[in-house]
Amino acid sequence: MTDTAADSTTKPEPFRSSIMQIEPQWIDYNGHLNMAYYNVMFDRAIDQLWLKLGIGPTYMKERGGSTFTAECHVRYLREIHLGDPVQVSVILLEADEKRLHTFQELRHATEGWVSATSENMSLHIDMSSRKVAPFPPDIRERIAGVIAAHSAVARPEGIGRNIAMPSKRQAALYPGASACQSDHGRDQEQHDRDEEDDLGDFDRSTGDTAEAEKTGDQRDDEKRHNPA
């Protein structure tokens, strides 16, 4: 397989990986596929799509670019066992000049049921500096073509899903949970802002990083003087 664009990626359907087999050493003491190896198969499927986009190993060697995963959310929906053939479908949901947002479903290859899903944010990296960098124009054009095709695909259930306790049951069991959730929501918003400040070399130039650090320091000072 080579790093090249292919007509299959511009059809109005998800990209589908080759059919994969569960390896015996991946089965844990519960008798099913260990959670870590779902990610192995999801990653192999992404590698196959990246080859179609022209951003695989050859791209890294010849043009000095690659991708790093910045965020991943996996849901384990149904057990899968040794001997089950599996296939991963991938939808490229969105992209900008530096990021790719994908959603994957791992299915039993012959029976069709979903075993797990994985939603990911990938960053394009200049490997000489190991910093986030824009995709070259030709790669952006390929990505745009795939997004246009995948925009016609029905969105699977689970995109944008957060980890949370079922709200009604939680409210019945823990009457004070709603207040805690509000506090958690505020904490999460603050965490997101802090995380954005801390991206540093991973998503900013040196100058932008210094400015982000300055902003973070100013916010810390404000907290000390005004704890509310």
**Tens-of-pLDDT digits for all 228 residues of the chain?**
444 444 567 789 999 999 999 999 999 999 999 999 999 999 999 999 999 999 999 999 999 999 999 999 999 999 999 999 999 999 999 999 999 999 999 999 999 999 999 999 999 999 999 999 999 999 999 999 999 999 999 999 999 998 888 776 655 655 554 554 555 555 555 545 554 444 445 554 434 444 444 445 555 555 555 554
Q: What DSSP string describes 22-71?
A: --GGGB-TTSSB-HHHHHHHHHHHHHHHHHHHT-SHHHHHHH-EEEEEEE
β-strand 65-76 against 114-126: which pairing, if any? antiparallel
Kindly state the tokens that stand for 173. Answer: 């069991």
From CA 179, how far away is CA 191, in angstroms rounded? 18
Task: Assess contact for 48 and 17: CB atoms under 8 A.
Answer: yes
- Going along the chain from its start, the domains and CATH numbers come out as 7-150 (3.10.129.10), 167-225 (no CATH)
Query: What is the three-class DSSP state of 226?
Result: coil
Task: Assess contact for 106 and 42: CB atoms under 8 A.
Answer: yes
Kindly state the tokens that stand for 125. Answer: 């990296």
Query: What is the three-class DSSP state of 174?
Result: coil
Kindly state the tokens that stand for 39. Answer: 């990610």
Q: Is the dihedral of CA 208, 211, 217, 219 positive or negative?
A: negative
